[in-house]
A and B are shown apart, each in its own frame.
Chain A
């Protein structure tokens, strides 16, 4: 079992839709959870991170962690074509662990 598992997608939604991206993890020691966004032919860039359980909002993006169920989510409101990218969830404990990525396509 991988330390971080991610819905593989791909996911295709119309512009303006609410997007939900999801991951699960297995290591109870994980405390920090990160979301990276990767555009085609670029390196991943940190979108946001959260600590422990709860929500964190940054503009149209909300990261949510439920430690009781070991579930990580990223919500994108009013999705835009510029959000089309691969989204990777991650956590770190001694080293970093990444999900396999979900490719998102937002259609104009």
Chain B
């Protein structure tokens, strides 16, 4: 079974600074997707960024980028120019691409605080 681990329960960053959230995962599969979801206090799950395992190029979405290290099974999220609205719980998630419609497996989450 796949597992996802986020070793940082809490992180904080100054507004306009850069922060990196860590995530590692364990799988025996070669084809999969990785995601970062943001959960603000409203508790809605919002997709931030996704990465296909077969792509070597790291995904980017505006101020959000990932550092995907397949051999190390590491998938970190970098938030540049942090804004107050980035404050939220961030979940890393894994999904197999070998089965259609497979489940998402989430990590424990990292609570990000942005200080003005």
A-B interaction: no
B residues adjacent to A (C-beta < 8 A): none
